[in-house]
Amino acid sequence: MISISKEIQDFLLNDALERFLRYVRIWTTSDEKSASFPSTNNQFEFGKLLLEELKQINIKNVIHDKSGHIYAHLPPSKGFEKVKTIGLIAHLDTSSSISGKDVKPVIHKNFDGTEIKFAQDDELSLTINDSPQLEEYIGLDIITSQGDTLLGADDKAGIAEIMAAYAAWNKFSELKHGPIVICFFPDEEIGKGLFKVKKKQLPEICYTIDGSEMGTLETECFDAWLVGIKFKGLNVHPGYAKNLMINAIRIACRFLSELPEMESPEHTEEREGFYHLMNLQGNEEKAKANLLIRDFELKNNQRRMDYLKNLKSSYEIRYSGIKINLSFLHQYENMYIHLVKEQKIVDLAKKAIELAGLEVKIHSIRGGTDGAQLCAKGIPTPNIFAGGLLFHSRKEYIPTLALQKAAEVIIYLAELWIEE
């Protein structure tokens, strides 16, 4: 196993940092309301830029398809043609929760532990109270936006780190690897990233580079359901409504108020699941709502769905004439049920993180990952850190060292697969 030299480390830092600072300036917010794929053309344009950059580092077998997916196939180092192929995956889009337009990254040199201020919002600051991990980064350079946008480390950092590793493989002949495939794809933030992925372009084993703090390895995520609830009532002039009106929106409010308050995102953490009301709209005649149900255990989510079914039955008895329709969509399952059978894939990722000089931090994702969808498709895919924190917020940040370390992990991981 080669030890990555100081020269290579410096190259990875400078290359990944330069790319990251360029990439975050490109507006690639996805749009949940769009009917097109990708949902925004800016993502496709970003893909075109990456296509050209891959060609510049001598990656000849590159595909950029009409749905915005990029597949790049890196041939193995000489003598390692029979090594298992691995895939590296990151997404092109950023969240619509906060504006991703006109991002202007700022590097805060030699962070001293005091609050970080934002040029575009005098009332906004980033402190160790906001993110305790900042205390570990004292003395490092920290990148933020100017406070009027998110930063976009989710997942421009992952893309920059993969690209830096590719550039290092191209530049330093002492770095050996088997066959490598990358896939950059759109619309992860709106849950559509893998709708049109070409499974035949991907290898049997992949790693998403989309986790948070340095050292993180994620092998478990929520089991996730989307619940649609429709209420059909009967409107009557309110002056003559006694014993006649069936007020759908009022009954919907009562129904939703019966969700257990302590099983909401505001009151749960770690391995606790929840109901999450996303929206409610309607009038006396019709109303509809959407809920998310989340837990690490399918049986707990089944209990929540049974609760809703029983609540529906009781309300249709309690309010004669109301019609309530429930629909359940399984969005993704806990990837752990697949990865627990693939311990070597996880163990090699752990070892790669350790070789990069980091403590391995095993986290359960209180959310989803495209790795979960790939696992369900038969491609085991754990999630390796990209290094950013406070994603989807104006306080989002990343230490520059994380860009280097994630690229190191990728290089070590490729070498570890040679030894298998």
Please tell me the predicted confidence (pLDDT) of residue 191. 81
Cβ atoms 149, 99 nearer than 8 A? yes
What three-state secondary structure class fits 51? Answer: helix
Please calculate the CA angle 156-279-272 and round it to the nearest 5 degrees. Answer: 70
Is 188 annotated in the active site?
A: yes
Question: pLDDT-derived band of residue 327, with 50, 70 and 90 as boundaries?
Answer: very high
Please tell me the predicted confidence (pLDDT) of residue 195. 81
Average pLDDT over residues 360-381: 88
Please tell me the predicted confidence (pLDDT) of residue 194. 81
- Residue 136's contacts (CB-CB under 8 Å, 6 or more residues apart) are none
Question: pLDDT-derived band of residue 387, with 50, 70 and 90 as boundaries?
Answer: very high
Q: Where are the domains positioned within the chain?
A: 6-221+334-419, 223-332
Please tell me the predicted confidence (pLDDT) of residue 397. 98
Please tell me the predicted confidence (pLDDT) of residue 110. 97
Average pLDDT of the chain to the nearest whole number: 95
Kindly state the tokens that stand for 412. 């070590």
Question: pLDDT-derived band of residue 193, with 50, 70 and 90 as boundaries?
Answer: confident
236, pLDDT greater than 80 = yes
Between 369 and 393, the higher pLDDT residue? 393
- Residue 165's contacts (CB-CB under 8 Å, 6 or more residues apart) are 12, 88, 407, 410, 411, 414
Q: Which pLDDT tens digit goes with each residue over 64-121?
A: 999 999 999 999 999 999 999 999 999 999 999 899 999 999 999 999 999 999 999 9
Dist. CA 121–CA 393, nearest whole Å: 13
274, pLDDT greater than 80 = yes
Phi-psi region of 49 (alpha: psi -120 to 50; beta: other; left: phi over 0): alpha
Please tell me the predicted confidence (pLDDT) of residue 123. 95
Please tell me the predicted confidence (pLDDT) of residue 264. 97
Dist. CA 177–CA 313, nearest whole Å: 59
Average pLDDT over residues 354-362: 96
* Amino acid letter, residue 16: A
Question: pLDDT-derived band of residue 240, with 50, 70 and 90 as boundaries?
Answer: very high
What's this model's pTM, rounded to 2 decimal places? Answer: 0.89
Average pLDDT over residues 185-210: 91
Question: pLDDT-derived band of residue 32, with 50, 70 and 90 as boundaries?
Answer: confident
Average pLDDT over residues 44-64: 93
368, pLDDT greater than 80 = no
Superfamily of domain 6-221+334-419: Zn peptidases (3.40.630.10)
Dist. CA 354–CA 215, nearest whole Å: 8
Which own/partner contact pairs does 346-349 have at CB distance under 8 Å and 24+ positions apart? 346/217, 346/219, 346/382, 348/413, 348/416, 348/417, 348/420, 349/207, 349/217, 349/382, 349/384, 349/409, 349/413
Question: pLDDT-derived band of residue 190, with 50, 70 and 90 as boundaries?
Answer: confident
Average pLDDT over residues 279-303: 97
Please tell me the predicted confidence (pLDDT) of residue 119. 95
Q: How far is CA 361 from the centre of its chain?
A: 17
Between 179 and 370, the higher pLDDT residue? 179
Dist. CA 12–CA 405, nearest whole Å: 8
Nearest to 383 by CA among 371, 395, 392, 393: 371
Kindly state the tokens that stand for 363. 């986290």
Please tell me the predicted confidence (pLDDT) of residue 178. 96
Is 285 annotated in the active site?
A: no
Q: Which of 15, 154, 187, 188 is catalytic?
A: 188
Cβ atoms 212, 388 nearer than 8 A? yes
Cα dihedral 238/239/240/245 (nearest 10) = 10
Q: Which of 93, 213, 223, 415 is catalytic?
A: 93
Average pLDDT over residues 403-418: 97
Please tell me the predicted confidence (pLDDT) of residue 317. 97
Dist. CA 308–CA 303, nearest whole Å: 9
CATH number of 223-332: 3.30.70.360
Please tell me the predicted confidence (pLDDT) of residue 356. 97
